[in-house]
Chains A and B, each alone.
Chain A
Amino acid sequence: MRIVTVRRITQVFFFLLFVWFCVVTTIGMEWWQLRGWPVNWLLQLDPLVAVATMLSTQSLYRGLLWALVTVVLTIILGRFFCSWVCPFGTLHHFVGYLSKRRKRISAKIGLNQYHPGQSIKYYLLIFLLTAAASSLLGRLFGMVSTRPKLSMVVATIVLTGLALLSLLKVMPNPKQAMTILFTLIGFWLVLGLILPAENLIAASLQTGLMDPIPLFHRSINLTLLPFSESLSASQRYYQGSVLIGAIFLTAVFLNFKVPRFYCRFICPLGALLGVLGTFSLWKIGISGDKCSKCQLCDTDCEGACQPADKIRLSECVLCMNCLESCQDGIVSYGTAPSEAGEIPLPDLSRRGFLSSFLSGAMAIPVMRIEGLVGPNFPPSVIRPPGTLAEPDFLARCLKCGQCMRICPTNIIHPAGLESGLEGLWSPILNFRIGTSGCQLNCIACSHICPTAAIRSITLEEKLGQKEYAQVGPIRLGTAFVDRGRCLPWAMDRPCIVCQENCPVSPKAIFAREYFGTVRGGTYRVQNIAGQTLELGGQDLPPGQFATGDYYVMTTHGGKENRWRIAENTSKSVTVAASEPWHAAPELESYIAIQVKLQRPYVDPTLCIGCGICEHECPVSGKRAIRVTAENESRSPGRSLLLPKT
C-alpha cells in the first residue's frame, strides 16, 4: 500500500476517534453514551499539555504520561503527529485539499512556499510556555532574597566555570559569552532583590487557547454538538460560545487562503513538535544530484518546508506527499541527511525570542495586579465541585471544555472575562442555563478533567460523608436571598420554591412564617352570617382570597386571631368551616385580610452552594436567591463562618 494511503487511513481513524470521543462524552442510558471510553486520550497524547502543566505545576498528572509516547516517537520520526494523528490538522488538511483541488499545479506550488511568518508559532509557543513557567522563574528570582548565600554561591560558580572554560579555550567567543552571562546574572540578582510580591509572580496555563487538541475539543463540544439535541443529555446552551465558534471557523476558513494556515503559522503544538523533531533519526530528504528543480514536490506539501531545497525540518509534517509527487524519484524518508542541505531549526531572531520570552514572563504577573485571585475576587465566579484554589486551578485548566460537555445539567460554561483574561473559557457555573443546579450525587466533571484542575473527588468527599464527615460537604459558595426581589419578602406573594428544592438534609433554606396585611386590606364588618362576614368599604376582587393562603385577622383584647378564608365575593369573605369563630368579630369592628407568607432564610453552615435554589427561583431574570463564592471550600480566605468547634 502507498504510504500516503496509510497516512490517510490513519488520519481518518484518529479524526473519527476524536469525534466519537466528543460525542460519547455525555451521561445517559444509551449504549453510545459515556461507558468508560478514554475520551481524553488525544488530550493526553498532546505533549504541549504535558510540557506546559509540567512547567506550571512541576508535576505530570496521571494520563498525561501518554504524551511521552508522542515525544519519543517525534524524536525518532519527526513531526508525524501533525499529519498522522492531529484531528484538527486532518480537518485543515481536508479543507485545504478542497480549496485547492481545482487549482493549477503552478498555483498549488505557489501556495506551498515557505513563508517567514511561519516563525510566529514558535514565538507564540515561547510566550505560552514562559507564562506557564513564570512561577518557576519567580522562584528563581526569589531565591536571591530568600536564600542569598546560595544565590551568591551559584553566581560565583557559574562565573568561575565560565572563566575556566574560556581560559581553556573551549568557548568559541568567550568575551561575548561573558558579557551575556554577566548581564543575565546581574539582571537575576537585581531583579531578585526588588521582586518580593510573591502573590503576583504566578504561572497560569494559557496553552489551551491555541493548542489544537483543546481548541478542537472546545469548539466541537461547545459550538457544534449543541446543534444536535439528540447527541447531548439535554438541549445545550453555552454562554460566550460565539467567540469560540468564530475562532474555530476563522481557523478552518483560512485554509482557503493558505492551506494549513493554522498549522503553519499559529499552532504552538506544531512548533513544539517541530523543535522536538529537529534531530529526528528519520527525515525527508533528497539523494543524489539528479534533482531537476521542477518544484513538483511542493504541489501538495502540507508543511511548506521546501523539500527539494534546503529542507526546513521543523516545518515538515511528514505528509509524505513529496515522495509521490517527485518525478525524479529522489525524495525519500530515511536516515541520511538531504543532499540539498537542511535547515533543522526554525528562523528565530534573538529580539523576537527575547520579547516573546519577556512578555510571556510578564503577562500573568501583570494580570494578577487586577487582584482577581486575591482581594478583588469576582464573587459571581462559581467553579465546579473539586476545583482547586484559584491560583492552582489557573495553573492547570486547559480550557478544553470537557467538563462543560460532560455536565449532565449543562451548568458548566466557558467564562468570558468574569475571572480575568487568564480565566477566559475556564469553567464557571451558570445556574440560570441548564436543567437544574449542581446535582448532589454527580461528580462527573471532576473525573473527566484531564489535568486535575478539577481534582477527582469521591461522592463521599462531595457530600461530606464517612471519612469526610468532619470537614463536611464541598461547598461551591453560599446562597443569599435578595429580599428586594423575593416574592414573599418584597411582593406579598407566597412562594418558598427555594426551600422546597434545597437538596441537603436538613435543608439549608428554612422559612419563617409571617402574616402580612394585604394592600388596602382593612375592612369594616357590616354583618355576620355564620362563617361569612359582610364587609363595607372597597370591593374585594372575587375569589382572590380563596386560595388558602389568606386569613381574616381580628384583634380581640390585644390578641390577634386568624381564620383561614375559604371563599370571598366582592362584599364578603367566608372563613373555612373547620375554623369556627372562637371569638367572633364584632359588628362595626375592623378586620384585616392577611396573607400567610413563608420567608426564606439561608443557614450558611448547611448551604453547599449547589445553585438548585437559584435555578428553581421563579424570578426568572435576576434570581431572588443567588449563589456567590463566599464560603466556598476551595478558598480558605473566603470563609464566612468560624471554624467548627
Chain B
Amino acid sequence: MNQKAQQPTTNRRDFLLRLLKGGISISAACSLSYWLYDATGPGRVKNQNDLVTLPDFSIPSPRGKMSITTGLDRVKTINRGLEALGGIEAFIKQGDKVLLKVNAAFATPPILSATTNPQLVAEVAQMCYKAGASTVVVTDNPINDPSSCFSLTGIGEGAQLAGAKVLLPKESFFQPTTVSDGVLIRNWPILWQPFQGINKVIGIAPVKDHHRSGASMTMKNWYGLLGGRRNIFHQDINTIITELAMMVKPTLVILDGTTAMMTNGPTGGSLSDLKQTNTMIISTDQVAADAFGATFLGKTVAELPYIAKAEAAGVGRADYEALKPIRLSVA
C-alpha cells in the first residue's frame, strides 16, 4: 500500500477522474432512485385512461320529428321521407362530418335482412355528400367477424361506392366511457375512434325480432358501439338498451321497415323469417321510431320494457302519435 501512495502524478489524475466518474454515477443512481421511489406500491385500481363522452349530435328538426313513408323501394321512401322533414339539408350542412351507424352484426347476405340494407346505406351516404358533407364514415362493431360482416352484407361495398369511409373496429379504437345516471355503462369501452371529428350521427337499423329483448331496432342498434365482453349486459337487456339510448343522441335515426324479420331473430337465416312491411321511418326521436316499429312485429310498446324505460329517462316519447308523424306513400 505504501508503495502505491508514492505513485507518479498521472495516477493521481487518473484517480481524480475516476472519483469524478464514480461521483457522477453515484449521484445519478441516487437521483434516479429518489425520482422513481414508490413508498406505497400499486393501488387497487390502475389509473384508467381518461373517460370519453359522446357529444350531443341532435339538432332541432324544422318541420317535424318523424315521417312514416310506405313504399316498396327504399331509395324512394328514404328520399320522400326526408323531404317531408325538410330535406337532408335540414340536418346535414356544408362541411359536416357524418357517421352512419349501421347494423352490420352478422356476416349474412343482404337478402336475409339481418343487417342494414346496403342500398339504403349508399343512398344516405350520397345524400349527405350532396348536402355538402365533407366526410361520411360508416362503422359498427359487429358480432361476427368485422371484415366478413362488412363484405358479405354488401354494406362495405355500398358505402365505398357512395364514397363513404368504412371503419372496421380495431382494439385501439376503443376508449372507456361512463353514462352519467347510468349503472351499467361505467368505465366501459366504446368504439370511439370513428367519432373523432364527427358532428352528425345517423343510426340506420332494420326491424328485427330479438330473442332476449323482444325487438332490435334503432335503440338496440347502438349495442354495436360497445366493446369489451359486452355480452354480460344480456343479463339486463332492457337497462342496457336504455343506457345506450341515453349515451347516443343522434341527429337522425332511420328505421328500415321495408322488410321485417318476424321470427328466428336477430340472425334470421331464411326468407321465411321475413315479411314485407314496406315502411320507412325517419325520426329525430329514437324512442318514437322504435315504438312505431314494434307494430311491424305485432308487439305492443308494453311488451318492450326498454321503450318505457327510455322514455322515463327522457330520451324520447313512446307515444309517437303525439309527435304528429308525417305519413306519406310512394308508388
Instruction: Please report A residues at the B interface, Cβ cutoff 8 Å.
Output: 50, 54, 58-62, 65, 68, 71-72, 75-76, 196-199, 276, 279-281, 287-288, 332, 334-337, 388-389, 392, 452, 455-456, 461, 471, 636-643, 645
CA distance A558 to B120 in the complex (A): 60
Contact status B183-A645, CB under 8 Å: yes
* CB contact under 8 A between A65 and B37, given known A287-B3, A461-B44, A641-B235: yes
- Which of the residues B4, B19, B38 comes within 8 Å of A59, measured between beta carbons? B38
CA distance A281 to B11 in the complex (A): 12
Contact status B184-A279, CB under 8 Å: no
CA distance A643 to B228 in the complex (A): 14
CA distance A50 to B37 in the complex (A): 10
- Which of the residues B25, B171, B232 comes within 8 Å of A642, measured between beta carbons? B232
- Which of the residues A62, A199, A280, A332 comes within 8 Å of B41, measured between beta carbons? A62
Q: Does B271 contact A (CB under 8 A)?
A: no
**Chain B 235-294 interface residues, beta-carbon cutoff 8 Å to A:** 235-236
* CB contact under 8 A between A455 and B29, given known A76-B22, A642-B236: no
- Which of the residues B36, B44, B229 comes within 8 Å of A58, measured between beta carbons? B36
Q: Which residues on the A side are within 8 Å of B327 (C-beta)?
A: none
Q: Does B50 contact A (CB under 8 A)?
A: no
- Which of the residues A65, A337, A642 comes within 8 Å of B184, measured between beta carbons? A642
Contact status A54-B36, CB under 8 Å: yes
- Which of the residues A71, A388, A471, A636 comes within 8 Å of B29, measured between beta carbons? A71
Within the complex, what minimum Cβ distance (angstroms) separates B227 from chain A? 10
Q: Does B63 contact A (CB under 8 A)?
A: no
Q: Which residues on the B side are within 8 Å of A68 (C-beta)?
A: 29-30, 33
Instruction: Please report B residues at the A interface, Cβ cutoff 8 Å.
Output: 1, 3-4, 7, 11, 14-15, 18-19, 21-22, 25-26, 29-30, 32-33, 36-44, 46, 171-172, 183-184, 186-187, 228-229, 232-233, 235-236
- Which of the residues A198, A281, A334 comes within 8 Å of B4, measured between beta carbons? A334
Contact status A198-B36, CB under 8 Å: no
Contact status B235-A642, CB under 8 Å: yes
Closest to A643 in B: B186
Q: Which residues on the A side are within 8 Å of B43 (C-beta)?
A: 455
Closest to A388 in B: B42
* CB contact under 8 A between A60 and B232, given known A68-B33, A279-B22: no
CA distance A641 to B15 in the complex (A): 67
Q: Which residues on the A side are within 8 Å of B7 (C-beta)?
A: 287, 336
* CB contact under 8 A between A279 and B36, given known A336-B7, A643-B184: no
CB-defined A-B contacts under 8 Å, sample of 7: A61-B41, A68-B30, A71-B29, A75-B29, A281-B18, A336-B7, A642-B233
Contact status A637-B228, CB under 8 Å: yes
Closest to A474 in B: B44
Within the complex, what minimum Cβ distance (angstroms) separates B96 from chain A? 27
* CB contact under 8 A between A335 and B15, given known A62-B41, A388-B42: yes
Known A-B contacts: A198-B171, A281-B19, A456-B41. Give 13 more (CB < 8 A).
A54-B32, A59-B38, A60-B36, A62-B41, A68-B29, A75-B25, A279-B21, A287-B7, A288-B3, A335-B15, A455-B41, A461-B44, A643-B183
Within the complex, what minimum Cβ distance (angstroms) separates A374 from chain B? 9
